[in-house]
Amino acid sequence: MIPKGQMLPLVLVAATCFFAEGSNITSARSGKALSLFNVIQFSNGPCPGTGNRNGTCYTEAECTQKNGVAAGTCASGYGVCCTFSATCGQTSSENCTYFESSSVPIGACRLKICKCDENICQLRLDFNSFVISGPVTLSSSTGKATNGIVAGAGAKEVNLATQCLTDRFSVTNPGSSSPPTICGTNTGTHMYVDANENCNELAFQLGASSSVSRQWSIKITQYACDFDNLAPQGCTQYHFGSNSGTIKNYNFDGGAHLANQEQKICVRQERGNCQTCYFQIEKTDFSVSGEAGMTTGFTSKTQCCGYGSNGEDTKGYDCLVIPGALKQTDKQDPAPGSQFCGGLLTTINEGTDGKTVCTKQRPFHVTFRSDHFEHPDESETMITAGFRLAYTQKSC
């Protein structure tokens, strides 16, 4: 029981950035100074919710007002971990929004993502699940091209293999560069894009029919400009937190690389290391462009990433670029070039060193480039999967 003449301290909860107590008042009967208001204020920071989802810590009333779902508690029980889901045609400015395929329409499906704060600089999209139709496999001639442009008689025959013609996914970034358009199977991969002042759109364009069961769940995280682990400028993907990992092109798991790619994959330099080495675990982990029987990976610019002086080079345009590439030998000899294509990352010699490529050039990154078309000598040999490489960082 509350003693006569005293007032019960009232606890108010407000989701802000700090803890504070309210003003004291004096009881007229007792003359004792009592805290009438204890205001609990807490940060609207990230929190772990139920069902392997992350959310934002809000009061229960705020979560309801924002159309979120309370998925556990936070702030010592004064708040709820509020999770947010969105689907086609909606707009969200909540951090850690999940873009869900609750229903899969035909045609356009767009979600607008706006900054949750003016100090937001970057978005990370984690593809917890991502399956849409993959690229076409048409190998019949579409026409003849010179320097990658259909130009008529006298040029080299091209086809549409690797193009995303049935389904595609893109991210808009008005007035600045955007990630490449993708399709196929990309579950477990991710993508970075600069946060735009006018909002970004995550856009699916879905064809009338598909041979796969389309589904996606994309977690969208917003990073502040002063966040100490932003992805380096221009990176499509960013790997960090371990001395080893795996990188691959979009739709590698779907069995074919994609057309029109400029996929820059960055790897953070971890403490105590000064080089990153890349290698394929299986022989099937590298198949990019090139003629039938072309298995060497160290190449000159005339052999990949170009069309040759006449615009009709037969060895293909698509390739993986590893700046500052070194052969992993005792002497670490410089590679003849930094572009890699063909059926192997490098020629596999005796031992494991023959299939390892290292670089000391920082920041660590590789870039996968592909053009709009495929050539018959590429698609007929089924050199279209792309690459999946393990990497490890080492001291010098």
Query: What is the spatial distance between Cα 144 and Cα 157, in angstroms, rounded to a whole number?
Result: 4
Residue located via tokens 């004291």? 24
Residues 15-51 as b/e (b if ≥16 CB within 10 A, e otherwise) read: beeeeeeeeeeeeeeeeeeeeeeebbebebeebebee
- Find the farthest-apart pair of alpha carbons in the chain and give their distance in angstroms, rounded: 103
Strand partners, 82: 56, 70
Query: What is the spatial distance between Cα 328 and Cα 331, in angstroms, rounded to a whole number?
Result: 8
Burial of 89 (0-12, 13-18, 19+ CB in 10 A): exposed
Burial of 13 (0-12, 13-18, 19+ CB in 10 A): middle
> What's the CATH number for 87-132+167-230?
2.60.120.290
Nearest to residue 151, comparing CAs of 305, 307, 291? 307
pLDDT for position 18: 25
In contact, 355 and 344? CB cutoff 8 Å: yes
Strands 37-41 and 10-14: parallel
Query: What is the spatial distance between Cα 5 and Cα 181, in angstroms, rounded to a whole number?
Result: 70
- What is the CATH superfamily name and number for domain 231-396? Spermadhesin, CUB domain (2.60.120.290)
**CA triplet 222, 226, 230: central angle to 5 degrees?**
60
Residue spans in the chain of domains classed CATH 2.60.120.290: 87-132+167-230, 231-396
Token pair for residue 335? 């590679």
Sheet with 156-158: strands ordered across:
149-150, 143-146, 156-158
In contact, 279 and 285? CB cutoff 8 Å: no
Query: What is the spatial distance between Cα 42 and Cα 79, in angstroms, rounded to a whole number?
Result: 8
Token pair for residue 368? 């996968």
Quote the strand ranges of 268-372, DSSP E. Answer: 275-279, 286-287, 298-299, 319-321, 325-327, 339-340, 356-359, 364-369
In contact, 129 and 215? CB cutoff 8 Å: yes
Token pair for residue 202? 């995550």
Alpha helices in the chain (DSSP H): 60-65, 376-379
CA distances to 148, 311, 325 from 155, in Å? 10, 8, 33
pTM score of the predicted model? 0.85
Nearest to residue 328, comparing CAs of 368, 288, 268, 279? 279
Q: What is the mean pLDDT of each run of 10 residues along the chain (396 residues)?
A: 42 34 33 55 89 93 95 93 96 96 91 96 98 88 86 79 95 95 98 97 95 95 96 97 97 95 97 92 80 47 67 78 76 63 61 68 95 73 77 91
